[in-house]
Amino acid sequence: MNNVATPTTTADVVVRLENIGLSHDHGRSFILRHVDLEIRRGEFVALLGPSGVGKSTLLRVIMGLMPPSEGRVELKSTPASVHRPAAMVFQDAKLMPWRSVLRNVELGLEGLGLERAARRARAMAALDLVGLADKTNRWPRQLSGGQRQRVGVARALTVEPDLLLMDEPFGALDAITRTALQQELLRIHGRTQGTVLFVTHDLDEALVLADRIIILAGHPAGLRGDFTVGPRPRDRTAPAMRAMAERMKRLIAGEENLGADAAYWQASEI
C-alpha cells in the first residue's frame, strides 16, 4: 500500500476543522482534541468510531450547535444556500406529532422567506425523493419507524443543504429497513451529489455507504485514520477490502495509530 495524499483545492473544501478541542469541564479534561479535517464538495464521508468516543459531539460542533473549546470550524456555503449551509438528521427523526408528514418536511423551509406554494413544492419533491409522495397527509404516528426516518431525511434534504450531517440515522432500525434506506440514501446522493458526513459505529455500514472513512478513536478522541474506499459495487470479501477493514478495527481499538492524515488508501488499490 502506498500512502498518497489526495490533492485538495481550497475551492472544493466544504468543511474545515482546525485543531478542534472540546471540553465539558473548562479544560480539565477533553472529549476531542487536535481534530483537523477537510471535507470536499460531493464527498460521502463516514465518521466511524466506538460508542461514546465523541462522534455526535463532533457533529454538533460542525453544525454549530456546540461551540468548540479550542480551534476553528469553517463551513463554506455556496451563494444559493447561504441561509442553510448545513442540515442534520438525528438518531430518531424528531418529528412533530401534531404536524402532517408534509408539514413536518416544510418545517425545514420555514424562515427561508419562501412563498407557501414554493415551500410546498420543495417539500413534495423531497418526499418524492425518499419514496413517500403518497404519505404526505399522514400523521407521524401513522408511519413505521423507517418511514419516520425517511421524513427526517426529506426534511433535511428539502433545504438543499451544502452539507448533510447524519448522526446514526438508521441505528434503531431493523436490518431489512436499514439496508433499504442505505440504498435509498446512496441513490439520492448519486442524484444530488451533495456532501454527506455520516456518523456510524458500524464498520459494515461505513463500507457500504462511504467514499471515505475517517476513524475517531482514543481519549481524548482524535482522527486516527483516513481511508478512501473503492468504487461500487464493492466486494467486501476481497482480500484488500478485508485487510482495510481489519486495519480500521485495529485503529478503532487503539492498537494502531496512523495520525490524522498519514494514510489515504487510494480507490485503485482496493
Ligand X SMILES: Nc1ncnc2c1ncn2[C@@H]1O[C@H](COP(=O)(O)OP(=O)(O)OP(=O)(O)O)[C@@H](O)[C@H]1O
Among 238, 213, 211, residue whose Cα is nearest residue 55:
213
Stretch that binds ligand X, among 54-62, 92-100, 120-128, 155-163 (CB under 6 A): 54-62
Neighbours of 256 (CB within 10 A): 15
168-266-224 Cα angle (round to 5) = 50
Stretch that binds ligand X, among 9-17, 46-54, 62-70, 205-213 (CB under 6 A): 46-54
Q: Where are the alpha helices (DSSP H) in 54-100?
A: 55-63
Closest approach of Cβ 62 to ligand X, in Å? Answer: 12
Cell of 4: 498518497
Is 52 a residue that touches ligand X (CB under 6 A)?
yes
Cell of 32: 476531542
Closest approach of Cβ 22 to ligand X, in Å? Answer: 8
Among 20, 37, 57, 161, binds ligand X (CB under 6 A): 57
Of 25 and 115, the one with the shorter C-beta distance to ligand X is 25
* CA gap 217, 228 in Å, rounded: 18
Residue with cell 490524522: 260
Quick note: the x/- pattern for ligand X over 186-205, rule CB under 6 A, is ---------------x----
Is 224 a residue that touches ligand X (CB under 6 A)?
no
Among 14, 48, 53, 215, binds ligand X (CB under 6 A): 53
Is 31 a residue that touches ligand X (CB under 6 A)?
yes
Is 51 a residue that touches ligand X (CB under 6 A)?
yes
Phi, psi of 5 (to 5 degrees): -70, 135
CB contact at 8 A, 252 and 225: no
Q: Rule CB under 6 A: which residues touch ligand X?
A: 24, 31, 49, 51-57, 201
